[in-house]
Amino acid sequence: MYMKILRAVWTLSCCLLVSCGGSGESPNQVTPVVPVLPVTESPLSLPSVNQNSLADEITPHEAVATMAIGINLGNTLDAPSEGEWALAAQEYYVEAFRDAGFKHVRIPITWDNHIAASAPYEIEVEFLNRVEQIVTWALDRELFVIINVHHDDWIKANFASQSNRNRFDSIWLQVAERFKNTSAKLIFEILNEPQGLSLADTNTLNKRALSIIRNQTSNRLVIFAGTEWSNVDKLLAVDVPDSEDQFLIGNFHSYDPWGFAGECQAQWGSEADKEALTAIYQKAANWSLAHNTPVIVNEFGSAKYDFTQPEHICEQSQRQAYIAAHVANAKTFGIAATFWDDGGSFSTYNRAENTWGPEKDILVSP
């Protein structure tokens, strides 16, 4: 429905210039040259649709409590072509996640290479079908599923561009329509780590995306986060997109301190280190209570080595203690948490061999 409406709008907008001529022109008559001005895009209007209400409605507090600890299918649908950054998704991965004891899976998605660069910004049918296939694998196994807009840095780099904003809107217009009748266990995350956007721009984008999703479905769970790399302080600073909306979940990321968890050039495990991590979760819990909005940390973890400098290796016992501290804090403060597994340095699951590293039994105790 959305694409039919949008095509019609754009067809009309491209017929603004009409060339007129008569058959009685003098041979010496010079036809004036009319300059063709660039067409400036206008903000997209929301399509007129029948808003859906999910019969299997889940409140955000119920969802966060049930989602507990989950895992990212990282670097999979983020790559320019699936399989370039990590092995392509297989159904047995999702089966392994469920059997291991994870309660939800996050599927990061970068749309840039799969959506047209010009209006009406159609998503490739094959790619959208692939997204739905992986989502269905997880939902069929009773897992909660998060899908998002992940590494689409073009919207972060030039938010002032109306065409960029229309292209971003078009992602959620199409995704919200495609999945409007899908299980309430499917959750939409508006934008991953809006690094480069101002606080005002992030607030604008969150509110706009939420309005697009709500136009299709009144009670789909939606996750939002703050600016930059989405640390907890950015969550505290950002607006709740709609204070009246009862189906929102706040989100932050934590690889703190990055010198240890990402670069493997620091030690971790002192009492001060543990207290600093607990303080992050305490901030999130305080924010949750103040806004009556539950929280998820949908990226946390520790690298085995710095992928930019592989000679820097993290000490395994410290990695495991760090991951255990995250899990303990998440449980203590009632925050759902999603381990970042990218199939590489941050992984615990060996996709090719269908085996688990020692981190798994820390994340989901046997």
| Residue positions annotated with a catalytic role | 193, 299
- Residue whose entry in the numeric block shows the structure tokens 């904003």: 165
Long-range contact pairs involving 94-101 (C-beta distance under 8 Å, separation at least 24): 94/134, 94/137, 94/138, 94/141, 94/143, 95/141, 96/349, 96/354, 96/356, 97/71, 97/138, 97/141, 97/143, 97/349, 98/141, 98/142, 98/143, 100/356, 100/360, 100/364, 101/69, 101/364, 101/365, 101/366
Of 82, 97, 79, 95, the closest CA to residue 349 belongs to 97
What per-residue string of b and e applies to 300-321 under the rule 16 or more CB within 10 Å gives b? Answer: bbbbbbbeeeeeeebeeebbbb
Taking every pair of Cα atoms in the chain, the longest distance, rounded to a whole number of angstroms, is: 92
- Which one-letter DSSP state was computed for residue 113? G
Q: How far apart are CA 28 and CA 26, in angstroms?
A: 5
